[in-house]
Structure 1
């Protein structure tokens, strides 16, 4: 049977769904174990979340993780993420993207080495360093793994440092858990097409001062919504949603709750509100990016059904 350490893992559950001719009838369900208690377990499956009473569980066990996404799937999601966080200064190096936003966030100020740079790899890395040097910025490269493993190996050989691993996580919108029954009296989530002054202040408290380039990153997306929750006249929770990419991905970012308002389910409310908007404009899946060491956030997203699609690291060139 399953244990608490299996929560967040891929499992198969065989449940008893009836009796015929004195013999039990079984049905199997495959998904990520989202919750486990003495009375029931909850699975996040490709078709939605299901809750199974423990009395109906005949057998349950962990199974190997699903097959890694294809290189094409990783590349498509990385491009959707780039569209969702658009740097104002951009250039191409073959298929690679070079991006700068006055130093605001690593994602908007790093090269994305996806595809063919139209030159040998060492020459491509040299070109990346020249481009950032001309801007007076440090050279950064985001390496989605395992897609950019050859790039990462070349950077290792050159002595580039590595930031902490970041998880690119996804969930089908249909698999998001519904709001709990006791949330009817929760404060509403307001969605706007532009960020309010208070919204920007909360974002700045997390990401640092917002230069003009930051405002471009936040707002220069055709389909974008800014979520906010107010309590007692004070903004206590925010979030941002975008819909981008050929596959219409809902991108979630800047999900933030004020310390004094945490443990009230506000982050989940923000995610659900953005998910409803995303679904209404054609998105079927959501993604977000979170640093692996941010255990609190990773745990929150796990309870919402998110699983890791792939990872990346931000690499920094050594000083000259």
Structure 2
């Protein structure tokens, strides 16, 4: 707060409001926030489960590049101390991505990275849609989801088939070599799929178990269903199978990442016992005019 402005911290970043426009204020109880150490631990587990092929360190910050496939693998992760001032750290991020010919991006876990968000606001960085990082118990995912005998069995594989990759590509765009690295360069990873009687894919999902025992994390991603097969419970079906696989590898907790605006997916995951642990924004640097 200054003599002229009130600064508000929101899930989408910071908001500055002129004091002359504030007519009434009310003290509200603070929402329960996860400890910073828990946010950092989960973000590191997620980074291990979605490993960009090119990574570098800026102090404790992680710089990531993956041929522009997915924002998460092509954005810096500002956790911990960058070993320099915040402004100098952002300068270094911009230079690192510029040297690779990529637009600089930074993922900002909230509220942990609120100072980073404020600095990026001042620089005119834009934001992609808010992402919810949701967590739940692996065992609950198994016990709360009834086994579906009326659906084809879920097949689990150590590597993705061409058909599996094609379904993901239809949703995520062309899969460069970096995408295959992200998908497969994890020691404990599984690719789930469901086929109809003709061998056509109905649904897919990916699971990756990372982190030290006990209490390893299961990261669930790329839960997708063929358009003609939606509203049949296939999402729950494949996630239950992935959870069963994960328990054999010591996973106790599960997480996933979903855009807040994807209300259908958010409702599905809520029904499976997931709740929001924290949020993050993918921030993008302003495009520079060619000189």
TM-score interval, smaller chain: 0.7 to 0.9
Which one of 207, 223, 228 corresponds to residue 255 of structure 1?
223
- Say whether 1:316 aligns with 2:287: no
Q: For 2:96 and 2:224, how far apart are their aligned partners in 1? A: 34
Q: For 2:146 and 2:160, how far apart are their aligned partners in 1? A: 28
- Say whether 1:283 aligns with 2:251: yes
In structure 1, the partner of 2:94 is 129
Q: For 1:167 and 1:106, how far apart are their aligned partners in 2? A: 14
Deviation at 1:122, TM superposition (A): 0.2
**2:135·2:275 contact (CA, 8 Å) conserved in 1?**
yes
Deviations 1:237-268 (A, max 9, x none): 00000001234100000000001011111110
Q: For 1:148 and 1:277, how far apart are their aligned partners in 2? A: 34
In structure 2, the partner of 1:214 is 179
- Say whether 1:198 aligns with 2:150: no
Q: For 1:122 and 1:258, how far apart are their aligned partners in 2? A: 45
Could you list the runs of 5+ residues in structure 1 that have no partner in the other structure? 1-63
TM-score normalised per structure 2: 0.86
Q: For 2:59 and 2:185, how far apart are their aligned partners in 1? A: 24
Q: For 1:129 and 1:240, how far apart are their aligned partners in 2? A: 32
1:139-154 aligned at under 5 Å gives the runs: 139-154=104-119
Deviation at 1:185, TM superposition (A): 2.6
1:162-177 aligned at under 5 Å gives the runs: 162-176=127-141, 177=143
- Say whether 1:245 aligns with 2:211: yes
**2:144·2:272 contact (CA, 8 Å) conserved in 1?**
no
Deviation at 1:67, TM superposition (A): 2.9
Q: For 2:78 and 2:30, how far apart are their aligned partners in 1? A: 26
- Say whether 1:187 aligns with 2:152: yes
Which one of 241, 257, 267 corresponds to residue 299 of structure 1?
267
> Which structure is larger by alpha-carbon Rg, 1 or 2?
1
Q: For 1:178 and 1:92, how far apart are their aligned partners in 2? A: 41
Deviation at 1:175, TM superposition (A): 2.1
Q: For 1:222 and 1:281, how far apart are their aligned partners in 2? A: 11
Deviation at 1:66, TM superposition (A): 7.5
CA RMSD of aligned residues (A): 1.3
Which one of 59, 62, 77 corresponds to residue 97 of structure 1?
62
**2:145·2:272 contact (CA, 8 Å) conserved in 1?**
no
Which one of 214, 225, 240 corresponds to residue 272 of structure 1?
240
Q: For 1:128 and 1:245, how far apart are their aligned partners in 2? A: 27
Deviations 1:244-303 (A, max 9, x none): 123410000000000101111111011000000111110001000000000010000010
Secondary structure at 2:79's aligned position in 1?
Answer: coil
Q: For 2:111 and 2:97, how far apart are their aligned partners in 1? A: 25
Distance 1:66 1:146, change over 3 A: closer
Secondary structure at 2:134's aligned position in 1?
Answer: strand
**Structure having greater relative contact order (Cα 8 Å, sep ≥ 6):** 2
Deviation at 1:138, TM superposition (A): 0.3
In structure 1, the partner of 2:200 is 234
Q: For 2:172 and 2:150, how far apart are their aligned partners in 1? A: 31
Deviation at 1:174, TM superposition (A): 2.3
Deviations 1:58-99 (A, max 9, x none): xxxxxx998321000000000000001000011000000000
In structure 2, the partner of 1:113 is 78
